[in-house]
Structure 1
Amino acid sequence: MKIYTQLSDFKKLANAVVTIGTFDGVHFGHQKIIKRLCELAKSAGGETVLLTFFPHPRMIIDPENQDLKMINTVDEKAQILASLGVDHLIITPFTRDFSNLSAEEYIKNILVDAIGTKKIIIGYDHRFGKDRLGSIRTLAENSSVYGYEVEEIPEQDINDVAVSSTKIRKALLNGDVALANEYLGYAFSIYGPVIKGDKIGRTIGFPTANIFVAETYKLIPGDGIYAVTVEMDLEIESQKPKAESENTEVSGTLSPFNSQPSTFRGMAYIGQRPTINGMTRNIEVNIFDFDREIYGQNIKMNFLAFLRHDVKFTGLEALKLQLQQDKEDTLAFFEGQ
């Protein structure tokens, strides 16, 4: 998959089959759109184009609201889209000027003149253009003028509950990673380098790797203990996802690593460590059957199950006893898989 971080870097196609949206989470509903996108492109002999935006439009339109967190970073989203078979990913910077384009300008200047859209497939509720006045009806009304076809994807349900990025975010913030993963169709993950902590875990027999997440907009699940798997490439010192540079290619894999990573089981902790009167929110993981130094190493942590909420214990000995129980509970979860 080729990635473009500016629309001007994209070379207009002769037969572009296009979809548009923020696609945060790339959940089941999004996946249905992308599957249909690929089917249409194959039948028409065209190439798939997914037009998305960064920052999220709400971050620009309502900059005072810092509460919006994203399920995926830009790199994570690119890896998932590549795995689904998208040919071209255009990550358009969302600015005030961009938000002021009318729906008609958006169609002509971007979809037709810049991309070369011949078919567009869109979710039933997609809105675009200034004040979000553009809709699938607007696209249909202009289709004969610009010579493209429009196809609508209806609402996708799971267990009679409509999938949405908002509901997935809510589930994650509540610690309900099982529900979030059901909606997503894959395990929610956090990716970043291991940084040095205060090594208190080592003193009680549960050493942890502290993960630093550079993207401040990345959603972090609610405080508590989780069963996780941890992926890392033990053959090289550091890795970086391929999705950052302009006009680059990303292979079809959900992994951000360049080679096949090693996978371990573990239990993760998110919280402020109230037992030791911690002042900052930490993301830590105790990796089972692992004793290597991995400071600076990038690791990917996949959240599989919520075990318990964060609580303050009377001291380190009480915390140690609980962690022993947490490990037993985590192993029991994996054995039941």
Structure 2
Amino acid sequence: MEIIHSIFDFTPSQKTMVTIGTFDGVHIGHQKIIEKLVSEAKASNKKSVLLTFFPHPRMVLQKDVSIKLINTIDERAQHLEKLGLDYLIIHPFSREFSRLTALDFVRDILVNQLNISKLIIGYDHHFGKNREGNIEQLTEYSHLYDFTVEEIPAQDIDEVSVSSTKIRKALANGHLKTANNYLGYNFSLTGKVVNGKQLGGKIGFPTANIDIPEDYKLIPKTGVYIVKSIIDNTTIYGMMNIGNRPTVDGEHQTIEVHYFNFNQNLYGKELTIELLYYLRDEQKFDSVSGLISQLKKDEQNAMLFLKSYAKL
């Protein structure tokens, strides 16, 4: 997959099949659209193109600094690459770009720039200035400019429509299993190991403190999670606390991972942490010894979970 950082840097010599959207999470509904796109493009000897935008349109148009995304833009690209696309175009979203009318977008971007032969879109797709474009307009313009349009119906799990919004809510509420089922993979956090107060080491549970630079990355519900990472090509399991460490100091939110049977120095390393299971809420204990006792129970519960997880 080739990544291109502007629509205007893309000059295809072949006809293309295109899908458009934010694709936050690259969840199973998104995957269905993309797999169809890739399969049809290969069968008809055309190039598959996914057009997405960054920053998220709401960050630009609504100055919505509170919006949190399931994936960073790099994580999104990594998930998309696994799906066999020929091209990923990450176009900078701006107010100027948002003023393109639906007609301008179809004619100037899809037809003249992307050389489109078919557009495959998800259910209830809108585009263009003030989101004025819809499936009816797309169908009308497709006849005018000689390309076809296909709308994929809502993807359901157990009769519940999958959406990025529902996944975000599941993560915020600690419903990790639901979120991972909807995603089709384990939600993850990626960040650099930074110096902490080394309090974990003093109580027998040394931790790697994770700093995530992207302020728009969604951090799930505070609490204790069972996690895994690949470190130096080896899968390492552990437990992670997201929270304010109320028993020790109650400071700003931290993300700390304790890896089982592992004592390597990780300072300065970038780690990706997959979240496997939500173990419990964060708690404030009456004493440090109460905290240590609970951490030992957490480790035992994690080991029980991992025994059955390893059999999957």
Q: What residue number does 2:218 align with?
A: 219
Unaligned runs of 5+ in 2: none
Q: Which deviations, in whole Å up to 9, do the C-alpha atoms of 1:197-225 show, x marking residues without a partner? A: 10000011000001110110000111000
Secondary structure at the counterpart of residue 154 of structure 1:
coil
C-alpha separation in 1, matches of 2:248 and 2:11: 56
Matched, 1:179 2:151: no
Q: Which amino acid aligns with 1:115?
A: L
Give the residue type in structure 2 aligned to 1:288: F
1:13/1:115 contact within 8 Å kept: no
In structure 2, what is the equivalent of residue 284 of structure 1? 256
Mapped to 2, the partners of 1:11 and 1:228 lie a distance apart of: 43
Q: Deviations over 1:167-224 (max 9, x none)?
A: 0000001111111000000000001111111000001100000111011000011100
Structure 2 counterparts to residues 1-337 of structure 1, below 5 A: 1-63=1-63, 65-232=64-231, 234=232, 261-337=233-309
Distance 2:160 2:66 in 1: 24
Q: Aligned AA for 2:201?
A: R
- Secondary structure, counterpart of 1:178 in structure 2: helix
Residue pair 1:208, 1:285 contacting (<8 A) in 2 also: yes
- C-alpha distance in structure 2 between counterparts of 1:125 and 1:331, whole Å: 44
CA distance in structure 2 between the partners assigned to 1:87 and 1:192 by the alignment: 28
Q: 1:33 touches 1:123 (CA, 8 Å); kept in 2?
A: yes
Distance 1:82 1:66 in 2: 28
| Residue 66 of structure 1: how far off its partner (Å) | 2.5
Contact 1:123/1:154 (8 A) holds in 2: yes
TM-score by length of 1: 0.90
Equivalent position SS for 1:190: strand
* In 2: Cα distance, 1:194 partner to 1:22 partner: 29
Partners of 2:287 and 2:229 lie apart in 1 by 28
C-alpha distance in 2 between matches for 1:156 and 1:162: 6
Structure 1 gaps of 5+ residues are 235-260
**Given residue 43 of structure 1, which amino acid in structure 2 is its aligned partner?**
A
Partner secondary structure for residue 274 of structure 1: coil
Any conservation in 2 of the 1:99–1:129 contact (CA below 8 Å)? yes
Q: How many angstroms apart in 1 are the aligned matches of 2:23 and 2:58?
A: 14
- Asked if the contact 1:28–1:184 (Cα under 8 Å) also holds between the matched residues in 2, the reply is yes
Query: What amino acid sits opposite 1:33 in the alignment?
Result: I
Deviation at 1:335, TM superposition (A): 1.1
1:230 and 1:329 mapped to 2: Cα distance?
19
Offset of residue 273 of structure 1: 0.6
- Give RMSD over aligned pairs: 0.9
Distance in 2, matches of 1:124 and 1:95, equals 24
Task: Tell me, yes or no, if the aligned pair for 1:12 and 1:113 is still in contact at 8 Å.
Answer: no
Could you report, residue by residue, the CA deviation over 1:273-302 in whole angstroms, capped at 9, with x for unpaired residues?
A: 111223211011100111010101111100
Give the distance between the partners of 2:65 and 2:149, measured in 1 at CA: 35
SS for the counterpart of 1:275 is: coil
Could you state the TM-score of these two structures normalised by the residue count of structure 2?
0.97
3-state DSSP of counterpart to 1:301: strand
How big is the shift at 1:7?
1.6
Secondary structure in 2 matching 1:111: helix
Amino acid at match of 2:136: R
Give 2:158's aligned amino acid.
N
2 CA distance for matches of 1:26 and 1:189?
13
Q: Name the structure, 1 or 2, with higher relative contact order (CA <8 Å, separation 6+).
A: 1
Percent identity over paired residues: 49
CA contact (8 A) 1:231 1:262 kept: yes
Number of residue pairs the alignment of both structures matches: 309
